[in-house]
């Protein structure tokens, strides 16, 4: 762990039990099986690849149907094991020390399907607030990045820019990175706007199975390429105070997890899971509640694509522009 107490991140090597994380792995196996069945039944893949395990199977499916990892990334309902991890009593106790007794889960959570050497799973430098609207800029939204295997530089762990939050500023991001839907933050902009020392402040954070990386929403971070032969699975989960805006463009609210008004409060997972975040993102672009998600659509669109300057046009941007119907007028917000 870094000795500086205000670096903006914390490496915790041992926090979750093996049973808690193993349950997430089992649900992931079920999700990969469901995806394989769906693709096979539609004639998209010729084999189910059941002779491969959790850390290889999606890679084989991806070779036959590129973008399979994106389909899994866009999963609609959070499995019980993920819900249990997100609302784990010990992690909420940690969040209570940071946020106070009232805690809401942020609606933007992700399963990372980091298949080897895949651009779609290699996330460039960014601040998390770069994906949200401006009302979130003064809201503290801690993130826990939780790998589902031992991670290191070879298989794509995270890298952070320590003290990247010290100016309290949001740097200018761009969109989109390469062939992806990700916003990106240039290192020179990090240096200029956020006062980051590019030689000394960039820290790679390997995390063992059972550990997590905690950081706040202004700290720039990225995921390194997965150069191993195994899939690097991980979850990123977020929390904040219920009284503050989530900044997700009014598309979906967070989920109340702990309240000082009711020590026996029961989390309403059913209502939270009824709203598909990726679907409402698309509806916000089309301005139509009747927009139907193609179950094999491997593009991702969202309102952040209109927030920043478009410097790379790719299939995600083209799909966004097509749905919006005004393709040539996007400028930096």
Q: Look at residue 293 and tell me whether its pLDDT is greater than 70.
A: no
State yes or no: pLDDT of 105 exceeds 90.
yes
What is the Cα gyration radius of the chain?
19
Which three-class secondary structure state does DSSP give residue 63?
helix
Q: With contact defined as beta carbons under 8 Å apart, do 129 and 136 qualify?
A: yes
* For residue 228, pLDDT beyond 60: yes
User: What is the domain-level CATH number for residue 100?
Assistant: 2.60.120
Q: Answer yes or no: is 37 within a domain.
A: no
What pLDDT band is residue 6 in, cutting at 50, 70 and 90?
A: confident
Cα–Cα distance for residue pair 298/327, rounded to 1 Å:
20
- CB of 221 within 8 A of CB of 126? yes
Residue 51 lies in a domain: no
- Given a cut of 60, whether residue 235 has pLDDT beyond it is yes
Query: What pLDDT is stored for residue 280 in this prediction?
Result: 62
Cα–Cα distance for residue pair 240/278, rounded to 1 Å: 21
Q: Which residue has the tokens 């009824």?
A: 274
Averaged pLDDT for residues 219-239: 98
Residue 69 counted as domain residue: no
DSSP 117-137: T-GGG---SB-GGGGS-GGGT
266: containing domain: 9-16+77-324
Q: Does 217 have pLDDT greater than 90?
A: yes
Whether residue 330 lies inside any domain: the answer is no
pLDDT exceeds cutoff 50 at 92: yes
Burial label for 236, CB within 10 Å (0-12, 13-18, 19+), is buried
- Cα distance between residue 91 and residue 144, in whole Å: 9
| Within-domain flag for 127 | yes
Within a domain: residue 114?
A: yes
Rounded distance between C-alpha atoms, residue 97 and residue 103, angstroms: 11
Nearest to 54 by CA among 29, 31, 20, 36: 29
Decide: 218 and 247 in contact? Cβ < 8 Å: no
Closest CA to 119 of 72, 180, 66: 180
Q: Which two tokens stand for residue 332?
A: 């930096």
The band of 298, judged by pLDDT with boundaries at 50, 70 and 90, is very high
Distance CA 10, CA 260 (A): 26
Express as a percent the part of the chain with pLDDT over 90. 84
Is the pLDDT reported for residue 76 higher than 90?
Answer: no
* Count helices and strands in the chain by DSSP H and E runs: 9, 13
Confidence of residue 291 (pLDDT cuts 50, 70, 90): very low
Q: What is the pLDDT of residues 165-187, one digit of tens each?
A: 999 999 999 999 999 999 999 99
Average pLDDT of span 192-196: 97
Q: Give the Cα separation of 111 and 25 in Å (integer).
A: 11
In the chain, the number of structural domains is 1
Q: Residues 78-99: what's their mean pLDDT?
A: 97
Contact (Cβ atoms closer than 8 angstroms) between residue 242 and residue 99: no
Three-state DSSP state, 285: helix
Classify residue 331: in a domain, yes or no. no
Whether 139 is in a domain gets the answer: yes
pLDDT number for residue 77? 84
């Amino acid at each position: 762990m870094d000795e500086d107490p205000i670096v903006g991140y914390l490496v915790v090597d041992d926090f979750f039990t093996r049973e808690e994380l193993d349950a997430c792995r089992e649900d992931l196996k079920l999700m990969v099986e469901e995806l394989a069945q769906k693709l096979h039944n539609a004639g998209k893949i010729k084999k189910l690849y059941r002779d491969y395990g959790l850390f290889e199977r999606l890679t084989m499916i991806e070779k036959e149907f590129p973008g399979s990892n994106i389909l899994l990334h866009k999963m609609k309902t959070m499995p019980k094991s993920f819900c249990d991890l997100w609302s784990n009593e010990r992690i909420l106790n940690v969040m209570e020390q940071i946020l106070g007794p009232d805690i809401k889960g942020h609606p933007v959570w992700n399963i990372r399907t980091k298949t080897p050497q895949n651009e779609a799973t290699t996330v460039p430098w960014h601040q998390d607030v770069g994906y949200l609207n401006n009302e979130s800029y003064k809201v503290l939204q801690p993130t826990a990045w939780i790998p589902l295997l031992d991670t290191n530089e070879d298989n794509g762990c995270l890298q952070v820019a320590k003290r990247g939050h010290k100016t309290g500023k949001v740097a200018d991001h761009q969109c989109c990175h390469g062939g992806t839907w990700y916003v990106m933050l240039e290192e020179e902009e990090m240096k200029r706007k956020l006062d980051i020392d590019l030689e000394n402040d960039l820290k790679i954070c390997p995390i063992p199975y059972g550990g997590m990386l905690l950081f706040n929403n202004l700290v720039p971070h990225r995921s390194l390429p997965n150069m191993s032969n195994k899939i690097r699975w991980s979850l990123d989960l977020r929390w904040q105070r219920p009284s503050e805006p989530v900044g997700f463009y009014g598309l979906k609210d967070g989920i109340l997890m702990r309240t000082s008004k009711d020590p026996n409060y029961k989390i309403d997972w059913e209502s939270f899971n009824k709203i598909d975040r990726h679907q409402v993102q698309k509806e916000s672009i089309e301005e139509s509640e009747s927009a139907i998600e193609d179950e094999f659509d491997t593009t991702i669109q969202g309102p952040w694509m209109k927030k920043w300057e478009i410097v790379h046009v790719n299939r995600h941007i083209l799909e966004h522009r097509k749905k919006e119907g005004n393709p040539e007028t996007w400028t930096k917000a």
